[in-house]
Each structure stands twice: as structure tokens, then as C-alpha cells.
Amino acid sequence: MKKLYDYTEGKDLPEKPFLDDDCYSKSILVNVSPCTDCLIINKERQTAFFPVRIAKTGEGFWFIGGVWKARLSARENMAGVFERETSLKISPEKFQRIPFADEDGLAPRTLWPTGRNDMHFFFSIELNDEEIQQVAQNLDAKEYDTKAGLQEFSYEDLKSAGVRDIVLDCFRLAVEK
């Protein structure tokens, strides 16, 4: 684990503590969590693949992703979260940053119905059919509906499914560019 140094205070920082589920649930309600999230795409077919998220922090069609851990670059975090949630190891360089920002030029934020407030750094990844199958078969059962697997959507399909505008915006930026 990398040591962190606080340049404003001029001292080493302590190791990051591990929070149990109860403490973690409470902490995400009072803090803005930076997250790295990934859209699986097929540019040729102009489609994207989504799991059905069942985690109470944000249910429905959503990206594969999670909280950005300290000491990692955004791409390193994305690769680690993707592997943890899908069992598919992808090199960090293969994740393409989606150039998405809010009206202030900042990463977009999402307030979930649970009260969780996230700041998102979005990426896309184009996978072949075999890799998509592997992801669908190995989704983390604590996060996703494993029976639903990955579902393929066009832009119009996503609109009909009633996904959040942030999902539609990412689709346009990643698939239609």
C-alpha cells in the first residue's frame, strides 16, 4: 500500500481504516463519494450493456463501478472495481474516459433516493462477445441481479427503460462519438 503524504500539513497520513457495513452505510450518507463507473459499449451496433443493480445505494440499470479508493489513479480504480465486480481483468489503459462534466466543469453528481451523493468519473470499455459473456456470468451477487445478467440497449431502449438522464448522456458521449 502506498504511503500518503499531506503536503499542507507536512506529515505522513495514517493508513486508511476499514469500515464495517454499518459504518460504511452511514458514512456514504454524509459524504460525497467520488466514484469510477464504466459503460460497456459496442460502437458498431451503437449499443451498451447494463447489469441490473440491486444494491440499496442505487437500484436499477446502472454502470459497473464503485467508490474511488485513495492512492489509485482513476483508471487503476476502474480496473480494480471492474475486476472485483465481474471477475474480468482488464488493463487500466483500456478504459476510455468519457469527457463528461456538469455546467461548472466538474464531474457530475448523483443524489440517490437513499441520500447517497456521488461524484462520477465515467469510463467506457468495448468488450468482445466472449468477454461480455464472462462479465454476465460473473457479476457480483451483492451488487447485481445475476439472473438478469447483462442486457444490451440502444439509446431508444434506454429511454424506454426510464434510466436517469446521466446514463443517456454517457451513452451519447461514449457510443455516438
Residue-level pLDDT at 90: 97
- Give the residue from 101, 99, 34, 106 showing the smallest Cα distance to 70: 34
Instruction: State pLDDT tens for residues 54-69.
Output: 877 677 898 999 889 8
Determine the average pLDDT of the residues in 128-146. Answer: 94
pTM, 2 dp: 0.80
Say which CATH topology domain 26-175 has: Nucleoside Triphosphate Pyrophosphohydrolase (3.90.79)
Q: Domain ranges for the chain, please list them.
A: 26-175
Residue-level pLDDT at 103: 76
**Alpha carbons 107 and 102: distance in angstroms, whole number:** 6
Percent of the chain with pLDDT over 90: 54
What share of residues in the chain are helix, strand, coil (percent, to 5)? Answer: 30, 25, 45
**Alpha carbons 19 and 157: distance in angstroms, whole number:** 38
**Alpha carbons 53 and 145: distance in angstroms, whole number:** 6
Instruction: State pLDDT tens for residues 13-38.
Output: 666 667 787 887 777 677 778 899 99
Q: Where do runs of H (alpha helix) occur along the chain? A: 21-30, 74-86, 129-137, 155-161, 165-175
pLDDT band at residue 101, thresholds of 50, 70 and 90? confident
**Alpha carbons 137 and 18: distance in angstroms, whole number:** 29
Residue-level pLDDT at 117: 74
